[in-house]
Structure formats: C-alpha cells, structure tokens
Amino acid sequence: MEVQLIDLPKIEDRRGNISVIEKECLPYEIKRVYYLYDVPSDAYRGGHAHKDQKEFLIALSGSFEVLLDNGVDKEIVMLNKPFQGLLILNGIWRELKNFSSGSVCLVLSSDVYIENDYIRNYNEFLNFVKS
C-alpha cells in the first residue's frame, strides 16, 4: 500500500509541545494546506482518490479513521496524534470517518485544488488502478 505513517519531531516542554514538518519530511513540495473542522461524528469525508496528488494528513486535534484502498487491499488507520502524519500517495482511495468531537484534520497537499485530479467514483477508481 502506498501509504506511510510518519512520526514527526516532538519538542516537549512544560509550556506545551511543538511538532514540526520541514520540507525534507515529505516527498513533494507542499502547494496547498487545508483543514477539516466542525465535523459531525457521523460524517463521512473523502470517498475519492487522486490521479497525481499526494497528501499528508495529521489529526491536529482529536481522532478519526482513514480507510485506505489500493484497489486490491484495504486497511484502516486511526489518526489520533498531532505528532504523527499519514502520507497517502496518488492512486489510493480514502474514506475518513468516526471523527471525535472537536477533531481537526490538517492536510498538506502536493498541488493546488484541481477537480480533474479527483476520482470520485469507486468503479472509475478500480479501472484507473487496473490500467
């Protein structure tokens, strides 16, 4: 599976912790940052794959589950640590669910928003990974 859980540096301090993402951490240049927040616990997000874009997801606060699917295998990863991120390369179907209350999902993306880079239909995704 073209995904990887990456531990981020954590600078611990009684005044609060710091985690850092520097450019060497990711195999791409970050072109867009967005975040999901105020997500109801029964919400379902994602439900798509990217043709080219790569993304790095971090549960900045709270927790949620990410279902990952490469067209053959599926796995579920729980994100619940602000010092850990999930790298999802292109060609991976993802679904985000079971958001805890107050959770925030930060996404660092390899490109700006391009709707044409999305595959939002699961059968189309299966055809894409087979081709």
For ligand TYD, the closer of residues 31 and 74 by Cβ is 31
For the question of residue 50 being annotated catalytic, the response is: no
Chain positions contacting ligand TYD, by CB under 6 A: 32, 34, 45-46, 48, 113
Catalytic residue of the set 10, 32, 48, 81: 48
Compute the least distance from the CB of residue 45 to ligand TYD, in Å.
4
Instruction: Name the residue nearer to ligand TYD (CB basis): 82 or 93.
Output: 93
CB of 11 to ligand TYD, least distance (A): 29
Rounded to a whole number of angstroms, the minimum distance from the CB of residue 14 to ligand TYD is 36
What are 118's two structure tokens? 């999305």
- Looking at the annotation, which residues are catalytic? 48
